Amino acid sequence: MKCMGQKCSFHLVLLLAVLVLTAVPLSSQQTPSSAATPTTAASPSTPENSKAINDKLAQLDKDVKAAQSAGDNAWMLTSAALVLMMTGPGLALFYGGLVRRKNTLAIMMQSFALMGIITVLWALVGYSLCFGGNGLVIGGFEHAFLRGVGAEPNPDYAGTIPQATFMVYQLMFAIITPALITGATAERMKFSGTVVFLTLWFLVVYAPLAHMVWGKGGLLNAVGGKFPCLDFAGGTVVHISSGVSALVCALYLGKRTGYPKQPMPPHSLVLSFIGACLLWVGWFGFNAGSALAAGSLATSAFVATHFAAAAAALGWSAAEWLKNGRASALGAISGAVAGLVAITPASGFVGPMPALAIGLIAGVVCYLMVTKVKAVFGYDDALDAFGVHGAGGTIGALLTGIFAQQVINPIFGADKPVGGLDGHWSQVGNQLVGVLIAWGFALVGTIVLLKITDLITDVRVTEEQEVQGLDVTQHGEEAYNLEA
């Protein structure tokens, strides 16, 4: 038959495909598979047969566990990366754009420095202090130098992933929490003072709070704690602690030179916008990753996180539109961040509709905190670390007590009520205990540590250095050499 180009080639390919497809089942019948059951005609009651079946079941069991572990570990490592991204460059850009040009590098450097410092401290002793032992207030030293932290899961915390994954995931939280405080001290805190203070703060304020809320035996642990506190991803541990400490720092350092008369608008909202969006995406690792597994709870937390961010952005923007007649970009992104803060403790305990409500409330309340309350009291919380994280974290923690439901996360046991929507209103009381302890720790710890830091190295720069700018005086650099 003469070949007629395309039509002919098509028919040839079709013929080949048919031949290949019929050949495959034929060939597989000829190669024995590795886990084949014996093909002898032995009856099921022989011991060899039972052992083979049990072996096979044991192997299947291992394989299933390995598969689950692989899924969970993949998600958790991804989440750890997302949370680190929240600090660098998320927070660095968000804060960087909000300060004046002459202080851009300084605020970014503070976040970056913590990425280095906290990592080393965590490896040496931090992880152990937070998650070792079973103390009421602080952990122990059994995992110092990460002894015993490797591929084996730690069933107390995350039974399907290597403990090293859990360790490195939690590390990213420990990095970003002190970084948040730099928002209140921006444009006037010495770099050496920042480094000393935040290092001490991590050890003295963060570690105990992390242990109390998340550590085995912790006073506020949702599972088995004396005052079981619902804090899925760190509303108390991360946001209240850093936000309240930020307020104390702002008051201790005093106002920036020229504040509030001299205009100090953000030098680049473009940077802040990029940072805020990176924070939003990164927050999926922060909240959904706190499920410590890749199952439906992670999905639930992911959804709640996203919904709260959206509702809060709209809430802040709506409040602004009503007040000023216009919605600003800064307001919208600030609103989203406020919503993300508030949903942090609630993310793995509340449904999607309550998440919208929590976001909306946080957006409006934080807007008022930042525009009204700050002006009334006159403190210079330069980048609103207290107004967004302190206030948002407090609101979120209390709202968690109201909106938590056992149908979302039966944290207290099957069919046990969790929050207000389940009728368990006393949970709000427990949330309040957690909030007060976090406030107390942050307040007292920060004052003491600031005083100590001031003895070691001044915390505030001189007025001359402040006017010249921190980039040049603290780091010998300029953020932008656009004429170069």
Partner 1 sequence: MMKLEAIIQPSRFESVKDALREIGIEGMTVTEVRGHGRQKGHTEVYRGREYTVDLLPKMKLEMVLPDALVSRVVDTILKTAKTGKIGDGKIFLSRVEEAIRIRNDERGENAL
CA distance 375 to 98: 18
Q: Is 182 within 8 Å of 95 (Cβ atoms)?
A: yes
Residue with tokens 């006073």: 219
Rg from Cα positions in the chain: 27
CB of 387 to partner 1, least distance (A): 8
Structure tokens at 126: 């931090």
Cis before 266 (ω within 30) = no
CB of 281 to partner 1, least distance (A): 23
CB of 174 to partner 1, least distance (A): 28
Map the footprint of partner 1 across residues 12-51, applying CB under 8 A: none
CB of 365 to partner 1, least distance (A): 14
Q: Cα 89–94–98 angle (5° rounding)?
A: 140
Running DSSP on this structure, what letter comes out for residue 91?
I
CB of 384 to partner 1, least distance (A): 7
Q: Tell me how far the alpha carbon of residue 43 is from its chain's centroid.
A: 57
Given the complex with partner 1, which of 195 and 269 has the nearer CB atom?
269
Cα end-to-end span (Å), the chain: 74
For the window 210-249, what string marks contact with partner 1 as x by the rule CB under 8 A? ----------------------------------------
CB of 160 to partner 1, least distance (A): 43
DSSP string covering 227-279 = S----SS-IIIIIIHHHHHHHHHHHHH-PPTTTTTS----S-HHHHHHHHHHH
Given the complex with partner 1, which of 217 and 339 has the nearer CB atom?
339
Given the complex with partner 1, which of 366 and 461 has the nearer CB atom?
366
Structure tokens at 131: 């998650």
Given the complex with partner 1, which of 158 and 330 has the nearer CB atom?
330
Q: Is 339 within 8 Å of 307 (Cβ atoms)?
A: no
Question: DSSP alpha helices (H): ranges in 31-46?
Answer: none
CB of 219 to partner 1, least distance (A): 36
CA distance 197 to 445: 11
CA distance 144 to 296: 33
Tell me if 372 contacts partner 1 by CB under 8 A: yes
CB of 375 to partner 1, least distance (A): 7
Phi, psi (rounded to 5 degrees) for 303: -65, -50
Q: Is 362 within 8 Å of 230 (Cβ atoms)?
A: no
Tell me if 392 contacts partner 1 by CB under 8 A: no
Given the complex with partner 1, which of 68 and 328 has the nearer CB atom?
328
Given the complex with partner 1, which of 2 and 326 has the nearer CB atom?
326
Number of residues that bind partner 1 (CB under 8 A): 16
Q: Which of 113, 200, 336, 370 binds partner 1 (CB under 8 A)?
A: 370
Among the listed ranges 72-80, 328-336, 346-354, 409-417, the one in contact with partner 1 (CB under 8 A) is 328-336
Given the complex with partner 1, which of 96 and 162 has the nearer CB atom?
96
C-alpha to C-alpha distances, 368 to 246, 339, 361, 391, 437, nearest whole angstrom: 18, 14, 11, 10, 25
CA distance 385 to 395: 14
Map the footprint of partner 1 across residues 249-278, applying CB under 8 A: 260, 263, 265-266
Cis before 153 (ω within 30) = no
Given the complex with partner 1, which of 166 and 316 has the nearer CB atom?
316
CB of 206 to partner 1, least distance (A): 27
Tell me if 330 contacts partner 1 by CB under 8 A: yes
Q: Which of 68, 134, 328, 465 binds partner 1 (CB under 8 A)?
A: 328
For the window 306-325, what string marks contact with partner 1 as x by the rule CB under 8 A? ------------------x-
Given the complex with partner 1, which of 375 and 448 has the nearer CB atom?
375
Summarize as ranges the residues that interact with partner 1 (CB under 8 A): 260, 263, 265-266, 324, 326, 328, 330-331, 334, 370-372, 374-375, 384
